[in-house]
Structure 1
Amino acid sequence: MPKHFYPNSRRFDTPSFAELLKPLQAILMTVSPFKSRGNKPLEVTFEHMLKSLIFFHLEEHTSGRHLLQILQEDA
């Protein structure tokens, strides 16, 4: 896991994350929301999934479990 110079800064504020997400903002407004196929409503939106995928690749996590652990520690 890469170390940051400012440990109190949020990882989502990195310029590369913002640069990658900026062109997608207009597209995300037009995407239809996910629909649940069961009785339980979905807790995740397409935007959340896309942001976590970008974050996963930018921070070079070794697995999805490692990504979830980092996100829980930052919350």
Structure 2
Amino acid sequence: MMPEHQPNNPLHGVTLKAILEHLVELYGWDELGDRIRINSFNTNPSIKSSLTFLRKTPWAREKVERLYLKSLK
């Protein structure tokens, strides 16, 4: 089965880990925690704990994806 081609989806093929690493590099944990108010960004932040939370929490993942897309413009 061929993977679906999604030319109009800028998130297609970008992993959540890559998105998070980009945002941390761009903003740092402190500013990222100010922009998106979730504990995994503000209390002992790490990529691993943040990914675990974001994979279980659709509203938080959506905010992270939205900030990522905004950061690309």
* Greater helix share, structure number: 2
TM-score normalised to structure 1 length? 0.34
Structure of greater Rg? 1
Greater relative CO, 1 or 2 (CA 8 Å, sep 6+)? 1
TM-score normalised to structure 2 length? 0.34
